Amino acid sequence: MKKLLNTLYVTTPDARLSLDGENVVVYQGDSSLGRFPLHNLEGIVSFGYMGASPALMGACVTHNISLCFLTQYGKFLARVVGKEYGNVTLRKTQYCVSANEDRSAEIAKSFLLGKIYNSRWVIERAIRDYPMRLDIARLKAASDFLKNSTNEIMTGSNLAELRGIEGVAASVYFGVFDELILQQKDSFSFDIRNRRPPLDNVNALLSFVYTLLANQTAAALTTVGLDSYVGFLHRDRPGRVSLALDLMEELRSVYADRFVLSIINKKIITASGFEKKEDGAVVMTDDTRKAVLTAWQNKKQETITHPFLQEKIEWGLVPYVQAMLLARFLRGDLDAYPPFLWK
């Protein structure tokens, strides 16, 4: 349970919410986990199925507090709101900015700056932790290239140029990704990023975890009232959560990629958990998929200090914080969107 930027996050799956006077009370069984004055809240996000009392839902409607329900895995279920005031304005602003490529490019810079910066520090952290086991010269060259790429991003003038810089930077990053796999090299070697379908075990893991992160990010955007299908870097395409793909760019390497490396290097998954189909596609067995989901849930519960808020939060809340910061920027409450910069 954590209160951030006037939003209460209830991460205990079997917690239920109730109203006591002008306060929301969080219960687990018969025990009260905490109480929070409604007048201090803009939103409540509950990860679980226990729900909220009708009295609390009515109070949230009256006070214009967004009440969102997600599964414990972060899949969006429902959102209870009263009369739409700010969210309509917020979405109209989002649509106007998305339609303007120059303004979209300015926001896209922040997403890509975060992505390349974090990719570089994934490499730098590996150099620091395993200097005797890695090709340090090769990794340092990649790190220096990514450092220069962040400068190029800041001077990029349009979306096409930014995508070009990001594409080359991603190629350099994935070019040394195999160096970061320290265990089970015979079964988990990485040559090139491929998808639809993934053609090796590592790519199968990356694709699956990216899907988990995309769903989590889309849910986070929905909870703050943004349209996850209308992006700035990724343009509109039917059925694609373009804004979720935008926002998750800065989290791919530091959140998803490091998680994949961890479960390989810690031998949480093994080669026996993958199957190759006739068309060459590699898929995970049900048991391996369950093992990955369990490890992902554990990862989400690890705590870090958020670099912008300077507060300790769980990894699983990072997409929600970034979604809130993006919404605040679009409302004009922040001068710029602060990307998640990990180190």
pLDDT in tens, 24-37: 999 888 888 888 99
Find all residues with CB under 8 Å of 237, minimum gap 6, and list them. none
User: From CA 87, how far away is CA 309, in angstroms rounded?
Assistant: 23
Instruction: Report pLDDT for 239.
Output: 78
Instruction: Report pLDDT for 13.
Output: 72
Instruction: Report pLDDT for 286.
Output: 83
User: From CA 67, how far away is CA 52, in angstroms rounded?
Assistant: 9
Mean pLDDT of 232-245: 89
- Summarize pLDDT for 285-311 with one digit per residue, the tens: 888 888 988 899 889 889 999 999 999
User: From CA 258, how far away is CA 227, in angstroms rounded?
Assistant: 28
Instruction: Report pLDDT for 3.
Output: 65
More confident residue, 117 or 343: 117
- Give the CA dihedral 202, 124, 179, 286, nearest 10 degrees: -20
More confident residue, 324 or 212: 324
- Residue 32 CB neighbour total at 10 angstroms: 12
- Summarize pLDDT for 151-194 with one digit per residue, the tens: 999 999 899 999 999 999 999 999 999 999 999 989 999 988 88
Position 92 pLDDT exceeds 60: yes
Structure tokens at 55: 């009295």
* Chain mean position to CA 152: 24
The whole-chain average pLDDT of the chain stands at: 89
Going by pLDDT thresholds of 50, 70 and 90, the confidence category of residue 128 is very high
- Residue 336 CB neighbour total at 10 angstroms: 11
Mean pLDDT of 93-118: 95
Position 322 pLDDT exceeds 90: yes
More confident residue, 215 or 102: 102
Going by pLDDT thresholds of 50, 70 and 90, the confidence category of residue 1 is low
User: From CA 148, how far away is CA 167, in angstroms rounded?
Assistant: 14
User: From CA 124, how far away is CA 311, in angstroms rounded?
Assistant: 24
Instruction: Report pLDDT for 222.
Output: 86
Instruction: Report pLDDT for 277.
Output: 87
* Strand positions, DSSP E, the chain: 2-4, 7-10, 15-20, 23-28, 31-37, 43-47, 66-70, 76-80, 274-276, 282-284, 303-305, 312-314
CA distances to 86, 98, 305 from 225, in Å: 9, 16, 25
Position 202 pLDDT exceeds 90: yes
Structure tokens at 169: 């930077």
CB 341 within 8 A of CB 114: yes
Q: Model-level pTM?
A: 0.80
Find all residues with CB under 8 Å of 120, minimum gap 6, and list them. 143, 146, 147, 150
* Per-range mean pLDDT, top range of 90-99, 190-199, 222-231, 286-295: 90-99
Of residues 195, 178, 315, 171, the one with CA closest to residue 251? 315
Mean pLDDT of 132-160: 94
Vertex 14 angle, CA 9 and 15, to 5°: 45
Q: What is the DSSP string of 265-326?
A: HTTSS-GGGEEE-TTS-EEE-HHHHHHHHHHHHHHHT-EEE-TTT--EEEGGGHHHHHHHHH
Instruction: Report pLDDT for 100.
Output: 95
User: From CA 222, how far away is CA 196, in angstroms rounded?
Assistant: 27
- Residue 30 CB neighbour total at 10 angstroms: 5
- Summarize pLDDT for 264-292 with one digit per residue, the tens: 999 999 999 998 888 888 888 888 888 98
Mean pLDDT of 92-101: 95
Instruction: Report pLDDT for 109.
Output: 96
DSSP state for residue 7 in the 8-state scheme: E
CA distances to 81, 282, 289, 295, 313 from 279, in Å: 47, 9, 21, 29, 43
Instruction: Report pLDDT for 75.
Output: 67
CB 306 within 8 A of CB 315: no
Going by pLDDT thresholds of 50, 70 and 90, the confidence category of residue 72 is low
Instruction: Report pLDDT for 5.
Output: 61
User: From CA 195, how far away is CA 204, in angstroms rounded?
Assistant: 8
Position 195 pLDDT exceeds 90: no
Position 74 pLDDT exceeds 90: no
User: Three-state SS string across 198-231, please?
Assistant: CCCHHHHHHHHHHHHHHHHHHHHHHHCCCCCCCC
Going by pLDDT thresholds of 50, 70 and 90, the confidence category of residue 51 is confident
Instruction: Report pLDDT for 120.
Output: 96
